[in-house]
C-alpha cells in the first residue's frame, strides 16, 4: 500500500499503438509490403478468422478524429510507430506521400495538446529487407540507421521523444525460436545473431539521432518488456534458473541499451555453448553509442521459472529452455480471457530493479493492459462496454506506480495498450484492449467505461485508494 494517491505534476498519461496494427491503407500511396503482408498472402489460414493486415483500424483516414478523442479524454501523450516500408518503400527512396501523412498526423496530435512519442520499429520488417535475410544480414544495421536518420530529418521538428524498437526480444523469440512471426524457424544460433544485429541497429540509430538532433534537448529511448523474474523457490537450482532467465529475457537488451555493453555472464554463457555471434572489431564502440536517455517499459505479466530437469538439458544449449523452465504458480490470479497472469506488484519490482541496478534511469510504463475476447457481452443498452475488469486492472497497476514513485523511482508515466482497439498479429480483433471500441463494420470509435474513468483520474491527478 502507498501513502500517497497523488500523481506528480507532468505525469505522462496516454496510450500506445503501432503503424502496422492501426494504419491500414495497406498498399496506398506508395507503401510496399512488410513481412506481415506477404505472410498473410502466403498463409491466410494462420491468421485468426483469416483477418489480415489490409484494413486494421483505419487510422490512415481517421487520425484527426482520434487526435480529438485523445484530447477529450485528457491524454497528454500517445505512442505510435512509423512504417519503414511506407516511408522508404525500397529502402532508399523517400515517399513524399508518407511524409505528408505522418507530418499531418503528428501535427493533429500536437494541436490537441498530446505529445507524440514515435517509435521506429514495431515487428514490421520491410519485405525487401527480409528477402535479403532481415536482421540476420549485417547490412540491416546501416539500412536501419539510414531509415532512422531519414525519420529524424523529416519529423524531428515535430517530435521531441523517439524510441528505436518496441520489444526487440519478441521478433527474436517469435520468429527464430517459434512460429508466431516470420520467418518461423527454430534455431538458437540464428536467434542470437538476430538479437545482436538488432541491438547494433539500435545503437546505429541512436548515433544518427545524436548527429541530427545535436543540442536540441530531444530524447531517444527504447521500449523493452521487462517482466520481473521470480523463482519457484530459494533452492540453488531454482535461483540459478532465475539468473539465466534474467540474462536471456531481460538483460540481453537492457544491458546494452543502458550501459552500452553486454554482461560478462551472458558473454561467457554464449561462449560455453558455442552461441557467440560474429563480432566485428568496431562493434564495441558502436554499442557504447547506443546508450539511451530513457526506457519505455512494457509490462503485462511476470515470468516465473524453475530449474530444468538435469537429464533434459542439452549441452551445448539448443534453446533458452535448457537454462530454465516455466513455473505455474498455484496462487496466481489470471486474466481468463487472455491466459496471462495478473500481478500488479511486478511494476514495483521493476521500478526497484531500475533504481538499484540501472542508475534510476527515467522510465515510464509504455504498455500495460488487458485483452478481453467477445467484449460485446459487456455492452449496455447505450452501446457502452462496461469494462469494470479493465478499470480494476489499471487501478491496481497505477497503485503500484504510486508506491514506486514514493520509493524514489524515476517512473514518470503510464500508457495503456491501446487507445482504439487495434489489429493483433495472428489474433486479429479477437482480444480487445482499447479505451475505445472499434466497430469493425463502420470503423466508428465508441468510448468504453474505462475511458470515462481514466478521464476522471487524469483531471484529479489522483487515485482513489
Q: Are 227 and 250 in contact (CB under 8 A)?
A: yes
| CA-to-CA dists, residue 13 to 9, 71, 151, 319, 367, angstroms | 11, 11, 25, 38, 11
CA 139 to chain centre: 24
d(CA 413, CA 294): 12
Q: Are 290 and 257 in contact (CB under 8 A)?
A: yes
Please list the active-site residues: 167, 367
87: cell is 516511408
Could you tell me which of 44, 53, 68 has the C-alpha nearest to residue 23? 53
Q: Are 36 and 424 in contact (CB under 8 A)?
A: no
Provide the 3-class DSSP secondary structure of residue 224. strand
Detail the DSSP E strand segments found in 7-153.
Answer: 12-16, 77-81, 115-121
Q: Are 230 and 303 in contact (CB under 8 A)?
A: yes
In DSSP notation, 168-221 reads HHHHHHHHHBSSSSTT--B-HHHHHHHHHHHHHHHHHHHHHHHHHSTTS--EEE
Spell out a b/e string for 301-324, using b for 16 or more CB atoms within 10 Å of the CB, else e: bbbbbbbbeeeeeeeebbebebbb
Could you tell me which of 74, 73, 316, 87 has the C-alpha nearest to residue 188? 316
d(CA 444, CA 452): 18
Task: Supply the Cα-derived Rg of the chain in whole angstroms.
Answer: 21
Amino acid at each position: 500500500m502507498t501513502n500517497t494517491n497523488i500523481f506528480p505534476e507532468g505525469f505522462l498519461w496516454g496510450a500506445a499503438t503501432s503503424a502496422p496494427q492501426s494504419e491500414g491503407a495497406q498498399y496506398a500511396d506508395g507503401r510496399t509490403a512488410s513481412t506481415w503482408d506477404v505472410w498473410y498472402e502466403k498463409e491466410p489460414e494462420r491468421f485468426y478468422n483469416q483477418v489480415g493486415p489490409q484494413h486494421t483500424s483505419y487510422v490512415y483516414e481517421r487520425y484527426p478524429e482520434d487526435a480529438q478523442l485523445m484530447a477529450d479524454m485528457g491524454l497528454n501523450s500517445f505512442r505510435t510507430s512509423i512504417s519503414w516500408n511506407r516511408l522508404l518503400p525500397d529502402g532508399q527512396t523517400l515517399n513524399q506521400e508518407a511524409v505528408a501523412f505522418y507530418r499531418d498526423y503528428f501535427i493533429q496530435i500536437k494541436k490537441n495538446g498530446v505529445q507524440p512519442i514515435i517509435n521506429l520499429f514495431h515487428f514490421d520488417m520491410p519485405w525487401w529487407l527480409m528477402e535479403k535475410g532481415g536482421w540476420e544480414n549485417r547490412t540491416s544495421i546501416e539500412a536501419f540507421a539510414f531509415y532512422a536518420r531519414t525519420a529524424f530529418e523529416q519529423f524531428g521538428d515535430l517530435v521531441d521523444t523517439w524510441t528505436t524498437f518496441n520489444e526487440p526480444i519478441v521478433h527474436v523469440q517469435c520468429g527464430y525460436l517459434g512460429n508466431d512471426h516470420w520467418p518461423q524457424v527454430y534455431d538458437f544460433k540464428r536467434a542470437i545473431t538476430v538479437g545482436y544485429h538488432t541491438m547494433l541497429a539500435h545503437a546505429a540509430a541512436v548515433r544518427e539521432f545524436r548527429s541530427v538532433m545535436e543540442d536540441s534537448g530531444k530524447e531517444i529511448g527504447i521500449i523493452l518488456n521487462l517482466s520481473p523474474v521470480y523463482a519457484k523457490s530459494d533452492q540453488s537450482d531454482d535461483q540459478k534458473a532465475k539468473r539465466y532467465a534474467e540474462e536471456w529475457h531481460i538483460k540481453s537488451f537492457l544491458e546494452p541499451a543502458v550501459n552500452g555493453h553486454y554482461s560478462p555472464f551472458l558473454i561467457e554463457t554464449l561462449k560455453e555453448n558455442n552461441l557467440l555471434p560474429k563480432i566485428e572489431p568496431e562493434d564495441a564502440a558502436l554499442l557504447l553509442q547506443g546508450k539511451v536517455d530513457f526506457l519505455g517499459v512494457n509490462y503485462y505479466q511476470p515470468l516465473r521459472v524453475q530449474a530444468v530437469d538435469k537429464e533434459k538439458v542439452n549441452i551445448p544449449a539448443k534453446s533458452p529452455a535448457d537454462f530454465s523452465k516455466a513455473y505455474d504458480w498455484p496462487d496466481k490470479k489470471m486474466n481468463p480471457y487472455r491466459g496471462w497472469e495478473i500481478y500488479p506488484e511486478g511494476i514495483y519490482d521493476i521500478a526497484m530493479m531500475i533504481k538499484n541496478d540501472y542508475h534510476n534511469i527515467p522510465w515510464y510504463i509504455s504498455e500495460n493492459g488487458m485483452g478481453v475476447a467477445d467484449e460485446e457481452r459487456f455492452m449496455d443498452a447505450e452501446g457502452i462496454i462496461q469494462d469494470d475488469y479493465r478499470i480494476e486492472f489499471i487501478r491496481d497497476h497505477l497503485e503500484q506506480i504510486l508506491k514506486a514513485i514514493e520509493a524514489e523511482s524515476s517512473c514518470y508515466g503510464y500508457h495503456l495498450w491501446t487507445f482504439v482497439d487495434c489489429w493483433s498479429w495472428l489474433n486479429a480483433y479477437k482480444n480487445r484492449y482499447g479505451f475505445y471500441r472499434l466497430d469493425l463494420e463502420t470503423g466508428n470509435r465508441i468510448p468504453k467505461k474505462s475511458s470515462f474513468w481514466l478521464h476522471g483520474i487524469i483531471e484529479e491527478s489522483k487515485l482513489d485508494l
